[in-house]
């Protein structure tokens, strides 16, 4: 059975939906040893999964918070990490366990959505790795047959499709220890991820970090139009999921609690072209030598792919008015909407709600278009 919207669920079932998203990564993260320098005991992670899947209650929630506190004292949280593929999966899963802990402190559909979407991003990342691999997997044929039987989701990879199946399952299908409370509400059909598609271009936002914007300034790119951006698979370089030719992407930057539009980019295509340069033959070769001038936008990021764009010049003097900041809304693939958290007196105190690649509602897309048009020379 499937659910239509997380917002339609009771809080206990919203929590179970988050557990479903987390539980899929328990076996992968525990199957490989953690880097000894991180100082993380696997038993702590195992206990976090177990406690998350326990019936909701003051005792289990307190135990989860204590385990999180223990985890946060490890060297992992005070050192710089340059992860390989397995470590990236481990780190992203740990980050999602932390996000679940925040959900316990302030239950709400936004935090549940954050956990679910992060899990979906990992699934897409794994599909990208499989697609780009030169090696055959023993289950490759079985995966291909599974996808062949999914006529409505044939354009997605195996892991993304399996994640969608879990995500839209009745939350009552959580591991037996997690099932508690009232009977789970359900719908006989899931909303199609394109059920809200209105035939027009969409608009998205992506957050450019301080490091990215500092590199743009240092390289003298202010006032220039980027011909390319990069989609990835990490929280610092998110996948441009759902974007297509003709869509607009607003690159945002937060500085001293003020949100700026750095550039508005219209997607031309998401394919590797001759302008990208020679395909690297060795791991140390630049991934997109033809776009070296704009490599700070993520060319060297994990699973980076080029997105060719028609963009406005890079600038750092285009603030989003405070009153508009409080009204901005985004919508997910199920049509749910959300606003920004941590907005006070027209200032964004924490940027966590902007970290990622998110689709704007049509009203907010129009509002940002006005901001850009009113401040362009």
Q: Average pLDDT, whole number, for the chain? A: 79
What is the structure's pLDDT at 253? Answer: 94
Given a cut of 60, whether residue 135 has pLDDT beyond it is no
DSSP string, 225-261: PPSEEEE-SBTTB---TT--TT-EEEEEEEETTEEEE
What is the structure's pLDDT at 76? Answer: 85
Q: Where are the alpha helices (DSSP H) in the chain?
A: 11-23, 26-31, 42-52, 58-71, 85-105, 109-132, 140-148, 158-167, 210-218, 322-325, 362-375
What is the structure's pLDDT at 229? Answer: 94
Average pLDDT over residues 356-372: 90
Listed range (97-106, 162-171, 233-242) with the worst mean pLDDT = 162-171
CA atoms within 13 A on the CB side of 351: 20
Q: Which residues pair with 255 in a beta bridge?
A: 258
Angle among Cα 376, 264, 364 to the nearest 5 degrees reads 95
What is the structure's pLDDT at 321? Answer: 93
- Specify the 3-state DSSP secondary structure of 121: helix
What is the structure's pLDDT at 200? Answer: 53
- Specify the 3-state DSSP secondary structure of 201: coil
Give the Cα separation of 165 and 202 in Å (integer). 25
Residue 299: is it exposed, middle or buried by C-beta count within 10 angstroms (0-12/13-18/19+)?
A: buried
What is the structure's pLDDT at 377? Answer: 63
Other Cβ atoms less than 10 A from the Cβ of 274: the count is 7
- Cβ atoms of residues 129 and 247 within 8 Å: no
172 pLDDT band, cuts 50/70/90, is very low
What is the structure's pLDDT at 139? Answer: 65
- Could you report the per-residue pLDDT of 272-319, keeping only the tens digit for each? 889 998 887 877 778 888 988 999 998 887 778 899 999 999 999 999
Higher pLDDT, 130 or 111: 111
Q: Within its chain, how far is the Cα of 250 from the centroid?
A: 16
**Of 138, 136, 160, 140, nearest to 150 (Cα)?**
160
Q: What are phi and psi of 308, to 5 degrees?
A: -80, 135
Average pLDDT over residues 335-348: 87
Higher pLDDT, 254 or 233: 254
- pTM of model > 0.85: no
Given a cut of 70, whether residue 322 has pLDDT beyond it is yes
Average pLDDT over residues 41-69: 86
175 pLDDT band, cuts 50/70/90, is very low
364 pLDDT band, cuts 50/70/90, is very high
CA atoms within 13 A on the CB side of 210: 6
- Could you report the per-residue pLDDT of 3-27, keeping only the tens digit for each? 446 666 777 778 888 888 888 788 7
Higher pLDDT, 53 or 156: 53
What is the structure's pLDDT at 260? Answer: 95
Given a cut of 70, whether residue 116 has pLDDT beyond it is yes
Higher pLDDT, 234 or 252: 252
What is the structure's pLDDT at 54? Answer: 81
Average pLDDT over residues 118-143: 70
Q: Cα dist. 323→103, 192, 339 in Å? A: 27, 33, 13
What is the structure's pLDDT at 169? Answer: 55
Listed range (165-179, 200-214, 271-285, 306-320) with the worst mean pLDDT = 165-179
* Cβ density class 103-118: b for 16+ within 10 Å, e for less: bbeeeebbbbbbbbbb
Tokens matching residue 233: 């698979």
What is the structure's pLDDT at 17? Answer: 81
Higher pLDDT, 231 or 1: 231
Average pLDDT over residues 43-61: 85
What is the structure's pLDDT at 307? Answer: 93
Given a cut of 90, whether residue 82 has pLDDT beyond it is no
DSSP string, 149-181: T-GGGTTS-HHHHHHHHHHTB-GGGS-GGG--S
Q: State what percent of residues in the chain have pLDDT above 70.
A: 80
138 pLDDT band, cuts 50/70/90, is low
């Amino acid at each position: 059975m499937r659910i239509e919207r997380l917002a339609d669920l009771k809080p206990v079932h919203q929590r179970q939906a988050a557990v479903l998203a987390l539980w899929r990564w328990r076996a992968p993260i525990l199957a490989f040893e953690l880097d000894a320098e991180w100082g993380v005991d696997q038993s702590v992670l195992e206990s976090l999964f177990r406690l998350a899947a326990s019936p909701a209650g003051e005792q289990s929630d307190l135990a989860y918070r204590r385990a999180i506190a223990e985890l946060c004292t490890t060297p992992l949280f005070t050192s710089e990490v340059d992860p390989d593929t397995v470590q990236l999966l481990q780190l992203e899963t740990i980050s999602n366990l932390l996000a679940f802990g925040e959900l316990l402190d302030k239950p709400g559909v936004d935090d549940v959505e954050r956990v679910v979407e992060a899990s979906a991003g990992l699934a897409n990342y794994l599909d990208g790795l499989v697609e780009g691999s030169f090696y055959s997997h023993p289950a490759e044929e079985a995966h291909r047959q599974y996808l062949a039987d999914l006529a409505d989701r044939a354009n997605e990879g195996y892991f993304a499709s399996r994640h969608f199946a879990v995500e839209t399952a009745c939350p009552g299908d959580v591991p037996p220890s997690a099932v508690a409370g009232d009977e789970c509400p359900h719908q006989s059909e899931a909303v199609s991820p394109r059920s809200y598609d209105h035939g027009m271009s969409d608009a998205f936002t992506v957050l450019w970090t301080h490091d990215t914007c500092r590199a743009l300034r240092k390289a003298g790119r202010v006032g220039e139009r980027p011909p390319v951006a990069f989609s990835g698979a990490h929280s610092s370089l998110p996948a441009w999921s759902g974007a297509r030719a003709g869509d607009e992407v607003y690159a945002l930057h937060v500085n001293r609690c003020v949100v700026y539009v750095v550039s508005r980019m219209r997607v031309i295509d998401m394919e590797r072209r001759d302008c990208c340069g020679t395909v690297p033959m060795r791991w140390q070769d630049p991934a997109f030598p033809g776009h070296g001038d704009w490599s700070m936008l993520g060319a060297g990021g994990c699973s980076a792919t080029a997105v060719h764009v028609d963009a406005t010049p890079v600038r750092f003097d285009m603030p989003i008015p405070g009153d508009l900041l409080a009204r901005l809304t985004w919508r997910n693939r199920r049509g749910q909407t959300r606003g920004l958290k941590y907005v006070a007196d027209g200032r964004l105190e924490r940027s966590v709600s902007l970290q990622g690649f998110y689709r704007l509602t049509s009203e907010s897309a129009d509002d940002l278009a006005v901001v850009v048009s009113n401040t362009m020379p």
